[in-house]
Structure 1
Amino acid sequence: MAESIRALAARQLADYRAGTPGTSFADPGRPRLGLDDAYRVQGEVAALRAPAERVVGYKVGCTGPGTRAQFGLDGPIRGLLFDTELHRSGSELSAAAYAELAIEGELAVRLGEDGRIATVFPVIELHNYVFRGQPPTLAELVANNGIHAGVVLPPPTAEAPWPGDEPLSGRLTVRIDGACVEEGPMDGVPGGPAGSLRWLSAHLAEHDLSLHPGQLVLTGTPLRLLRVRPGAHVEVTAEGLGGVEAVISA
């Protein structure tokens, strides 16, 4: 099985770089992949991407009502964030660099030196919105790294201090070309951002992994994935925590 996992990981990475992610999941005779094996594929892909690309954190996905209903899947699942796929607010991103580009508005946190949440801020998560399997499975989602393709971040100086025990009671809003297209509570995933982090910490421990100071964690969202086309101006705001934006070019 280890040999087949490595072969699948090599194909996964080649497909990802070719802009055609996850083609193996469309193969009629493909072997059924369990969730643990899917995480092994994810890890093997990360090993193949190193040392040129460095893992800088994690995403927690498929937790909120929007994506669970949209995918027909119940998570949570974990994905990896790479330093080469971080973009600053105001970036211009080419739709041609992605496969069926979709975005998500969500909250992210950064860990402090004590391993606890230090800051919280809105982000735009980028996705290759492609599922090959019919029906899609959590294993496909995990092996495709949560269909994650990057994240747009605010400047470090704009990251808000974590409020501690105070609830995040504001609204998370996605605007495209100035019009509100999605809105929901900032605490709209189970347990809020802190709940996502607790799940992630326990999940990583089961896989002999752990969180580290300075890492970035995307904590999930109550909102849906939204397909975006060239020419779109995307903005995500979190009430009291600021905003982040990007322009989608051809």
Structure 2
Amino acid sequence: MTPSIHDIPELAIRQLQDYRNVNPGTCFADPDFSLDVETAYHLQDAVTALRLSDGETVIGYKVGCTGPGTTAQFGMNGPIRGTLFADEVRQNGAAVDPGQFCQLAVEAEMAIKIGPDGTIAAAFPIIELHNFVFRAEKKTLAELIGNNGINAGIVLPDPEWQRSTSFISQAGKLALHVNDVELDCGKLWPKADGPEASLNWLRNHLDGFDRSPEPGQIILAGTNLGLYPVQPGDKVVVVLDGQPEVRCTIGPSSP
């Protein structure tokens, strides 16, 4: 089955139901199911529209599949765009229930905040939470996009960090620690031009959908690091230049 644009509304209902049932993207398990990238974005946006109609709020976007860590893991090159929702934002030190995710995995990443004039007003580290599952026999950008970049939330740093301008242009080292063990580290930004490269790509991409990044929105700018599965009891910390800045604990699964 290769859905057309006319099939998207019905498929979006299924996708959202699967997501809320913590069983995302079941349509991609069908070996005869395929999407092209353009249709996958229409599917992502149709699911977003359903979530907005249910009272959810978009707070920004992610630019994913950009750095060497994820491109090696996924076997494909982006960038791709995902959509961030307010209900899936957690604060520093949060206890994360793995039962709310499908194969929970974490990623250390830098985010930016859009200022009133549309430029970068702040840059700060976050933990990105994922449903780390691909259904199709071969991973594709279309499945990644159709499942919203497999994003399932973020953990923010303390409020003062969310206003920081220090690392907009300053170099640094980002690392992911789980249970006091460094699993991965790398430069802050996946592109040589820094966060502007990700923001410029996103602007150009969203322009094709008659949208643009809005003041106050959070943009995940991509990362050089990979995704790492986590288990109940794990302690996750994002470290920037040797300092622990964002943390969460993986609690027991809910009944």
TM-score, normalised via structure 2 length: 0.93
Q: Tell me the residue number matched to 1:81.
A: 84
Question: Distance in 2 between the 1:89 and 1:196 partners?
Answer: 24
Q: Does the CA-based 8 Å contact 2:66-2:223 persist in structure 1?
A: yes
Query: How many Å separate the matches in 2 of 1:227 and 1:192?
Result: 27
Q: Tell whether the 8 Å contact from 2:237 to 2:244 is kept in structure 1 after alignment.
A: no
* 1:154, distance to aligned residue in structure 2 (A): 1.2
The superposition leaves residues 74-106 of structure 1 with CA deviations (integer Å, 9 ceiling, x where unpaired) of 000000000000000000011111000000000
- Give 4+ residue runs of structure 1 displaced > 6 Å after superposition: none
Please give the residue correspondences for 1:226-245 in structure 2 after superposition, counting only pairs within 5 Å: 226-239=228-241, 243-245=245-247
* Aligned counterpart, 1:3: 6
What code does the residue aligned with 1:216 have?
I
Q: How far, CA to CA, are the matches of 2:137 and 2:164 in structure 1?
A: 43
Deviation at 1:160?
Answer: 4.8
Counterpart among 147, 150, 154 of residue 147 in structure 1: 150
Partner in structure 2 of residue 23 of structure 1: 26
Opposite residue 42 of structure 1, the aligned amino acid is Q
Question: Does residue 1:58 correspond to 2:66, yes or no?
Answer: no
Is the contact made by 1:121 and 1:242 (CA closer than 8 Å) also made in structure 2?
A: no
Indicate the residue corresponding to 2:122 in structure 1. 119
- Tell me how far apart the structure 2 counterparts of residues 158 and 190 of structure 1 sit (CA, whole Å): 23
Q: RMSD between aligned alpha carbons?
A: 1.6
- In structure 2, the gaps of 5 or more residues are none
Partners of 2:222 and 2:111 in 1: CA distance: 8
1:190 to partner: Cα distance: 4.7
Q: Is the 8 A contact 2:40 2:146 kept in 1?
A: yes
Identity of aligned residues (%): 46
Q: Structure 2: which amino acid aligns with 1:243?
A: E
> Bigger shift: 235-244 or 49-58?
235-244
2:164 is aligned, of 155, 161, 166, to 161
Unmatched 5+ stretches in structure 1: none
What corresponds to 1:216 in structure 2?
218
Post-superposition shift, 1:169? Answer: 1.6
Whether 2:70 is the aligned partner of 1:67: answer: yes
Which one of 17, 32, 35 corresponds to residue 33 of structure 1? 35
Give SS of 1:47's match: helix
Query: Aligned pair in 2 of structure 1 residues 53, 33: CA closer, same or farther (>3 Å)?
Result: same
Q: What residue is the counterpart of 1:108 in the other structure?
A: 111
1:46 aligns with 2:51: no
Q: How many residues align?
A: 248
